[in-house]
Structure formats: structure tokens, C-alpha cells
Amino acid sequence: MAEEEDKKYARDLIGRTVISKTGKKFGTLGDIVFETRSGELIHMVLENPTANAERLELEKDKSGKKLLPFSAVIAVGDFVVVSEEDII
């Protein structure tokens, strides 16, 4: 089983800055969307999207907030790091 320090809780990730692996800032993580049946993580909801996020043709939720595919996440630490190539 994973060590306690290897675990990350969604509530601890909310508010973290979302950046690309090249350092482009996209905004902050507002929420995580998941499939209720399988538990699969689908999207990250962006809060305060930056100009970098605005340039991407991102899917939006019902309220118009930008969604990043969770499959683009490559690392989670002080920041949520995403692969820009996997967003498009």
C-alpha cells in the first residue's frame, strides 16, 4: 500500500496553480470532474484562466468554466503540472 505521504487528496489540490511543463501558467485548479461509476478522473476545472488558457480551445462546463483533461497531468506537487501536448 502507498505510504501516507504518497497520497494526495483532491481537497488539498484545489487552489494550486496549473502550469505546463515549460512553465506556462494556465490558472488555478477549481475542481475535479470524475465519472461516478468508475471513479475515473476526467477534467480539471480552471479558475482564473490566464491568457495562455484562453488561447487554447478548451472544453467548457455548463457554467462556461474551462476544462483541462485530467489525462494531461504529469506531476502534482506545489503546482499541478500538465503536458501541453496532451491538452490539444
pLDDT digits (tens, 9 = 90+) for 9-35: 888 899 999 999 999 999 999 999 999
CA atoms of 49 and 26, how far apart (whole Å): 6
Q: What DSSP line would sit under 24-82, residue for residue? A: -EEEEEEEEEE-TTT--EEEEEEES--HHHHHS--EE-TT--EEEEGGGEEEESSSEEE
Q: Is 64 strand, coil or helix?
A: coil
pLDDT band at 7 (very low <50, low <70, confident <90, very high): confident
pLDDT band at 8 (very low <50, low <70, confident <90, very high): confident
Which CATH superfamily groups domain 8-87? PRC-barrel domain (2.30.30.240)
Break the chain into its structural domains and give their ranges: 8-87
Q: What is the pLDDT of residue 5?
A: 66
